[in-house]
Amino acid sequence: MEPLVIHALVMLFAWLVLIPIGVLAARFFKVLPRQDWPRQLDNQAWWKLHQFTQYSGVVLMLIAVYIAVSESGELGLSIHGILGLAAVILACGQVLSGWLRGSKGGPTDRNATPDDTSSWRGDHYDMTGRRLSFEAWHKCGGYLAMGLAFAAIATGMLMIGWSEMIFGLAVVFTLALWILFVVFERLGLRKDTYQAIWGPDKNHPGNSGGKP
């Protein structure tokens, strides 16, 4: 199999399978359908799936970039190359922002004492400026990276000259992802991360405008 075809297949799997699954999990499955929320809080299934799919997707993406650069000897300044490079940079930025998101905090934090609220302090629990900046960047940057990646995939498939059937299947698969996104949104499956972890109690600072 030609290196550029391998590059394309790896990118397709990373951006059309792994990364979208992680995004859907993070947006819509913080609270599972059969979970007794808010009595049962901080379900970790979505978080583990999100981490696995995003890290795996980024690793595969970097492998695919290496394959393409090794074959051509350069990054390339075509439309496909520019779109792809922008998506790669944003995806790496997503990983970096995750590492810099700050501390969790809250009554269930491993460093917290349940009866001592002063030990509950944390960037996420207190919704500090650091946490708010992370959330704004992580969400906007992630969706922008996916949009650029989809455009890069389309231009890349045209460059390789894949058949209309394969191109059509990729388009249908992409549309199916967005349809799922809309359906889950309309079903009301999206739950605020803060409330998924700590519940809707107004005594929590993130539920009361940041006031402890």
How far is residue 32's CA from residue 23's CA, in Å, rounded to a whole number? 15
Question: Which position has the token pair 């009361």?
Answer: 208
Query: CB–CB of 130/102 below 8 Å?
Result: yes
**pLDDT single digits (tens) 10-54:** 999 999 999 999 999 999 999 999 999 999 999 999 999 999 999
* Structural domains of the chain, ranges and CATH numbers in brackets: 3-207 (1.20.120.1770)
**pLDDT single digits (tens) 56-99:** 999 999 999 999 999 887 777 799 999 999 999 999 999 999 99
**pLDDT single digits (tens) 129-161:** 999 999 999 999 999 999 999 999 999 988 888
How far is residue 195's CA from residue 23's CA, in Å, rounded to a whole number? 18
How far is residue 212's CA from residue 206's CA, in Å, rounded to a whole number? 8
Instruction: Print the SS3 string covering 65-120.
Output: HHHHHHHHCCCCCCHHHHHHHHHHHHHHHHHHHHHCCCCCCCCCCCCCECCEHHHH
